[in-house]
Amino acid sequence: MLDFTKEFKEVKIIPAVFWYIFTLFIVIVIASIKGILTGDMDLLDNENLLSLISTTLFIIILLYKFRVNKDKLLLMIKDYLEKINIKEIFGVVTTQICLSMGISLLLIGIVYFLFPDILNKLLSESSVAEASSYGGLFIAMIITVICAPLMEELLFRAIIFKRISKKFNIYIGVIISSLIFGLLHIELAIIGAFIFGIACCILYLKYKNILIPMTVHFFNNLLAFLPQLDLNATTDTSPMTNNDAISSIMFGSILLLIGLSFFIRFIINNKKYLKSGFSPKLSQDNIYLN
Confidence tier at 282 by pLDDT (50, 70, 90): very low
Of residues 2 and 284, more confidence is placed in 2
- Per the document, the length of the chain is 290
In the prediction, which pLDDT does 209 show?
A: 95
Q: What pLDDT is recorded for position 111?
A: 86
Dihedral sign for Cα 7, 10, 16, 22, please.
negative
Higher pLDDT, 117 or 149: 149
Q: pLDDT: is 116 or 65 the higher one?
A: 65
Residues 78-93 as b/e (b if ≥16 CB within 10 A, e otherwise) read ebbeeeeeeebbebbb
Per the CB < 8 A criterion, the answer to whether 189 and 82 are in contact is no
Domain count for the chain = 1
Residues 222, 146: contact at Cβ < 8 Å? no
Q: Residue 237's pLDDT is what?
A: 58
pLDDT average, residue stretch 45-74:
92
> Is residue 119 assigned to a domain?
yes
- Percent with pLDDT over 70 in the chain: 85
Average pLDDT, the chain: 86
What are the residues whose beta carbons fall under 8 Å from the beta carbon of 101, sequence distance 6 or more?
189, 252, 255
Choice between 207 and 276, residue whose per-residue pLDDT is larger: 207
Confirm whether 56 is domain-assigned. Answer: no
d(CA 97, CA 200): 14
Residue 128 has pLDDT above 50, yes or no: no
| 40 in a structural domain | no
pLDDT tens column, 160-188: 999 999 999 999 999 999 999 999 886 55
**If you average pLDDT over residues 41-56, what whole number do you get?**
82
What is the rounded CA–CA span in Å between residue 261 and residue 249? Answer: 18
Judge whether 90 lies within some domain. Answer: yes
171 and 178 Cβ atoms separated by less than 8 Å: no
- Residue 234 in this model has a pLDDT that exceeds 60: no
Which residues 6+ apart lie within 8 Å of 127 measured at CB? 235, 236, 237
Structure confidence at residue 129 as a pLDDT band (50, 70, 90): very low
Query: Is 118 within the bounds of a domain?
Result: yes
Domain annotation covers residue 254: yes
Position 182 scores a pLDDT of 92
Range of the domain at 156: 86-286
pLDDT reported for residue 239? 78
The pLDDT of residue 236 is 55
Confidence of residue 45 (pLDDT cuts 50, 70, 90): low
16 part of a folded domain: no
Is 14 contained in some domain?
no
Check residues 224 and 253 and name the one with the higher pLDDT.
253
**For the whole prediction, is pTM greater than 0.75?**
yes
